[in-house]
Amino acid sequence: MSNYIPTIGVEVHVELKTNTKIFSPSVNGYGQMANSLTNVIDLGYPGTLPTLNEEVINLAIKACKVLNCKIRREMHFDRKNYFYPDNPKNYQITQFETPIGYDGYVEIEVNGKTKKIEIEEMHIEEDTCKSTHRKDKTLLDFNRAGVPLIEIVTKPCMESSEEAKLYLEKLKELLFYSDISDCKMEEGSMRADANVSIRKNESDPYGTKVEIKNIGSISNVGLSIEKEIKRQEKLYESGKSFKEQTRRYDDKLGDTVLMRVKETGNDYRYFPEPDIPYVYITDEMISNVEKTIPMLPDERRSKYIDLGVSPFKANKLVNNRSLSDYFNTLLDSNINFDIASNLLLGDISGYLNKEEKVITDTTLTKERFIDLVNNIDNNNLSSRNLKDILSKVLESNSSIEEIIKTSGIKNITDDSKIREVIVSIINNNPDSVNDYKAGKDRAIKYLMGQVMKETKGSVNPKMANEILLEELNK
Amino acid sequence: MKDKLTKEEVLHVANLARIKISDEELEKYRVELKQLLDEVEKINDVEGYDEERMIAPWSDNTTLREDKSSDMLDPKEVIKNAPKHSGNYIEVPVVIGESEGA
């Protein structure tokens, strides 16, 4: 058990899903030929002027709303000055004095308790060009220069790597669901830095802060924080101190590596960007954005659970946006939602993954899906038989009844017929019956297998199981 | 009021601008930069300067641009003005290890 209390804050950069860049009409795209998505503004040519993209403001307002931030109604941009080849203007346009969002929060579940992760501020800025460092040269691709970003900064309010991971997962889910960003950490559209310090007691001042930069995945955020806490503990325990510094996580090494020791405060000489006058956020802008916010993941989960879907399955549905959107269209219908969620997550997902499709690519309209669920609910169709007709269900427009009829499937729902089959199986398997009576549960499985074999899977398993137990216990 | 900047102040500015300066230049800039700063300081004497800072000459809302793309540069044009290039990439001296920007 560690003697130290970790303090963790997280900064996340998220690329916004716009058509064009923040200050220029160049395309905002990924994976294109190097330097093919640029114009003179992105390249920082003298005499060019930035024009602020309306959609960036809308998406930033949306992010404020889903992250429960207050919205600053009067704001401006600032210049952050530095010399580095990733930004030929020698300044980055960002928000220093008047970040658009502040005092927000995200709720996470830690050990069954809800914890609020407080968001200090959220600001808008431009991304820099992408530099690739080779041994003897650095290569620059300006396709990323000017891509709109929001940076979301938490207070130092997390106490474990687990909390940091849960926060990032929640943040990603919220921003993805509200179409603010595609949040792909592997493509760099979501990038996380973590600030880590440790101290002995709550009453002590914070320990020396170490920033871990550009961590490439949520799981690595967890690993790097754990490693960093251990490293700091070791130093303090051996009586050493260290300077504020920036480190990065080395995946191969499985540890953090020093990048640089922080010099006496970064001298970015911020000043207001004179090329972009004030931006005023009106009530109308906010209410227009609010209309575009879809039902968010937490609300979806609790709605599904209220309708009888298990928490595990509700979560699985929410993890698949297209299935969850589809499920949402059914919420006001009167069906067995447990069966509906089983179908979507089971056979239908299997088919969609195999065919590399999403559910809206299939012919399964809401009405046909409801029919399908009801047919299973009424024992007209067993899940075993569904497999045989699945392609017809998803690729044709025939009614579910017609597909069942023409496929020659007849589910045995007649109690007496099932009983007849079961009695004969019991009579033919006296050993298994004795095993069952001796308390061997495996015998039941074997007998059920015989029932399914005999009826070619055309009985409702639940019904057959009940009758089997009845007959065995006679 | 001192009439010169300290050596450290000038070296700090030189470092931010990524330029090397000789001892002779250092002494010259201690005086010249101080004179420049003094000129700028005079703005503080303007009546009402501190009361309401404006970042633009007018307080109207900035005009927002519709999120529609327009013509972009051919990568060949982009690399034309670069001193060096490697394929479609602009090439610069290796910068790893220096302080990163944003």
Interface pTM (ipTM) of the complex?
Answer: 0.86
**Residue B15 Cα, gap to closest chain A Cα (Å):** 10
Q: Is the pLDDT of residue A59 over 80?
A: yes
- Alpha carbon distance B72, A303 (integer Å): 47
The verdict on a CB contact (< 8 Å) between A133 and B94 is yes
Q: Is the pLDDT of residue B98 over 60?
A: no
- Alpha carbon distance A40, A433 (integer Å): 83
CB under 8 Å to A375, separation ≥6 — which residues?
A381, A400, A401, A404
- Alpha carbon distance A84, B101 (integer Å): 6
Chain A partners of B16 at a C-beta cutoff of 8 Å?
81-83, 267, 269
Domain with A141, as residue range(s), is: 5-285
The verdict on a CB contact (< 8 Å) between A92 and B101 is yes
Chain B partners of A125 at a C-beta cutoff of 8 Å?
102
Asked whether residue A345 falls in the same domain as residue A427, the answer is no
- Alpha carbon distance A285, A70 (integer Å): 14
CB under 8 Å to B55, separation ≥6 — which residues?
A76, A272, A273, A274, A277, A278
Residue A199 confidence (pLDDT): 95
Residue A265 confidence (pLDDT): 53
Asked whether residue A270 falls in the same domain as residue A322, the answer is no
CB atoms within 10 A of CB A3: 10
How far are the Cα atoms of A145, A159, A330 from residue A131, in angstroms, in the given order?
Answer: 10, 34, 48
Chain A partners of B59 at a C-beta cutoff of 8 Å?
277-278
Chain B partners of A84 at a C-beta cutoff of 8 Å?
95, 98-101
Q: Of A378, A406, A434, which residue sits at a domain end?
A: A406
Instruction: Give B77 or A388, the one with higher predicted confidence.
Output: B77
Answer yes or no: is A49 within a domain.
yes
Q: Is the pLDDT of residue B102 over 50?
A: no
The verdict on a CB contact (< 8 Å) between B68 and A19 is yes
Measured between CA atoms, the residue of chain B closest to residue A54 is B64
Chain B partners of A213 at a C-beta cutoff of 8 Å?
100
Answer yes or no: is A43 within a domain.
yes
Asked whether residue A130 falls in the same domain as residue A274, the answer is yes
The conformation of residue A249, written as its DSSP 8-state character, comes to E
**E strands within chain B?**
85-86, 89-93
Contact residues of B toward A, CB < 8 A:
12, 16-18, 55-56, 58-73, 75, 78-79, 84, 86-102
Chain A partners of B18 at a C-beta cutoff of 8 Å?
83
Point out the residue among B72, B96, B98 whose CB comes nearest to the CB of A27.
Answer: B72
Asked whether residue A394 falls in the same domain as residue A430, the answer is no
Query: In this predicted model, what pLDDT tens digit does every residue of A145-187 receive, in sequence order?
Result: 999 999 999 999 999 999 999 999 999 999 999 999 999 998 9
Give CA A288 to chain center in angstroms: 25
Asked whether residue A384 falls in the same domain as residue A431, the answer is no
Task: Please tell me the pTM assigned to this model.
Answer: 0.84
Asked whether residue A339 falls in the same domain as residue A281, the answer is no
Q: Residues A267, A128, A222, CA angle at the centre, nearest 5°?
A: 85
Q: Which long-range contacts (C-beta less than 8 Å, at least 24 apart) are formed by A239-244? A: A241/A208, A242/A208, A242/A210, A243/A208, A244/A208, A244/A209, A244/A210
Tell me how many residue pairs between chain A and chain B have CB atoms under 8 A apart. Answer: 148
Asked whether residue A48 falls in the same domain as residue A137, the answer is yes
**Residue A43 Cα, gap to closest chain B Cα (Å):** 8
- Alpha carbon distance A456, A450 (integer Å): 10
Asked whether residue A228 falls in the same domain as residue A348, the answer is no
Q: What number of residues does chain A have?
A: 474
If we measure between CA atoms, which residue out of A133, A135, A138, A129 comes closest to residue A34? Answer: A129
Tell me the pLDDT band of A412, cut-offs 50, 70 and 90: low
Coil, strand, or helix at residue A187? helix
The conformation of residue A360, written as its DSSP 8-state character, comes to G
The verdict on a CB contact (< 8 Å) between A86 and B92 is no
Query: In this predicted model, what pLDDT tens digit does every residue of A4-22 receive, in sequence order?
Result: 999 999 999 999 999 999 9
DSSP per-residue codes, A369-402: HHHHHHHHHTTSS-HHHHHHHHHHHHH--S-HHH
Query: In this predicted model, what pLDDT tens digit does every residue of A276-296 receive, in sequence order?
Result: 999 999 999 999 999 999 999
Give CA A372 to chain center in angstroms: 30
Query: In this predicted model, what pLDDT tens digit does every residue of A44-57 receive, in sequence order?
Result: 999 999 999 999 99
Mean pLDDT of A123-135: 93
Measured between CA atoms, the residue of chain B closest to residue A55 is B67
- Alpha carbon distance A24, A37 (integer Å): 11
Mean pLDDT of A443-461: 81
Tell me the pLDDT band of A455, cut-offs 50, 70 and 90: confident
Residue A410 confidence (pLDDT): 65
Answer yes or no: is A291 within a domain.
no
Mean pLDDT of A88-109: 96
Chain B partners of A288 at a C-beta cutoff of 8 Å?
none
Q: Show the tokens assigned to A105.
A: 């929060």
Q: Is the pLDDT of residue B100 over 50?
A: no
* Furthest C-alpha separation in chain B: 57
Cβ atoms of A273 and A76 within 8 Å: the answer is yes
If we measure between CA atoms, which residue out of A91, A118, A92 comes closest to residue A104? Answer: A118
Q: Is the pLDDT of residue B3 over 80?
A: yes
The conformation of residue A468, written as its DSSP 8-state character, comes to H
Measured between CA atoms, the residue of chain B closest to residue A264 is B12
Chain A partners of B96 at a C-beta cutoff of 8 Å?
133, 138
The verdict on a CB contact (< 8 Å) between A19 and B17 is no
Q: Show the tokens assigned to A115.
A: 């914890």
Answer yes or no: is A218 within a domain.
yes
Asked whether residue A278 falls in the same domain as residue A320, the answer is no
Instruction: Give A392 or A63, the one with higher predicted confidence.
Output: A63
Q: Most A CBs within 10 Å: which of B8, B54, B55, as the mutation test of the A interface?
A: B55
Point out the residue among A57, A138, A274 whose CB comes nearest to the CB of B92.
Answer: A138
Q: How many domains does chain A have?
A: 3
Asked whether residue A175 falls in the same domain as residue A237, the answer is yes
Measured between CA atoms, the residue of chain B closest to residue A44 is B78
Report chain A's terminal Cα–Cα distance, integer Å. 58
Asked whether residue A274 falls in the same domain as residue A361, the answer is no
Tokens 């003697």: give the residue: A3
Cβ atoms of A106 and A116 within 8 Å: the answer is yes
Regarding beta strands A137-141 and A130-133, do their DSSP bridges make them parallel or antiparallel, or are they unpaired? antiparallel
Query: In this predicted model, what pLDDT tens digit does every residue of A239-250 receive, in sequence order?
Result: 999 999 999 998
Chain A partners of B93 at a C-beta cutoff of 8 Å?
137-138
φ and ψ at A377, to 5 degrees? -60, -35
Mean pLDDT of chain A: 92
Chain A partners of B77 at a C-beta cutoff of 8 Å?
none
Domain ranges of chain B: 1-44
Query: In this predicted model, what pLDDT tens digit does every residue of A176-226 receive, in sequence order?
Result: 999 999 999 989 999 999 999 999 999 999 999 999 998 989 999 999 999
* Burial class of residue A192 in the structure, from the number of CB atoms within 10 Å of its CB (0-12 exposed, 13-18 middle, 19+ buried): buried
- Alpha carbon distance A61, A77 (integer Å): 15
* Burial class of residue A458 in the structure, from the number of CB atoms within 10 Å of its CB (0-12 exposed, 13-18 middle, 19+ buried): middle
Point out the residue among A27, A85, A279 whose CB comes nearest to the CB of B61.
Answer: A279
Residue A254 confidence (pLDDT): 87
The verdict on a CB contact (< 8 Å) between B92 and A276 is no
Answer yes or no: is A292 within a domain.
no
**Residue A152 Cα, gap to closest chain B Cα (Å):** 14
Chain B partners of A49 at a C-beta cutoff of 8 Å?
none
DSSP per-residue codes, A257-317: EEEEE--SS-----EE-TTS--EE--HHHHHHHHTT----HHHHHHHHHHTT--HHHHHHH
Point out the residue among A20, A43, A135 whose CB comes nearest to the CB of B67.
Answer: A20
Q: Most B CBs within 10 Å: which of A35, A135, A270, A278, as the mutation test of the B interface?
A: A35
Residue A468 confidence (pLDDT): 87
Please report which helix (H) or strand (E) contains residue A250, including its range. Answer: strand A245-250
Q: In chain A, what percentage of residues exceed pLDDT 90?
A: 70
Answer yes or no: is A290 within a domain.
no
Q: Lowest-confidence range among A192-201, A222-231, A448-457? A: A448-457
User: What stretches of A125-263 show up as alpha helix (H) in DSSP?
Assistant: 161-177, 218-237
Asked whether residue A100 falls in the same domain as residue A127, the answer is yes
Q: Of A380, A406, A432, which residue sits at a domain end?
A: A406
Tell me the pLDDT band of A123, cut-offs 50, 70 and 90: very high
Q: Does domain B1-44 have CATH number 3.30.565.10?
A: no
Q: Is the pLDDT of residue B27 over 70?
A: yes
- Alpha carbon distance A162, A465 (integer Å): 43
How far are the Cα atoms of A119, A304, A396 from residue A327, in angstroms, in the given order?
Answer: 32, 9, 21
Report chain B's terminal Cα–Cα distance, integer Å. 37
If we measure between CA atoms, which residue out of A388, A341, A409, A405 comes closest to residue A369? Answer: A341
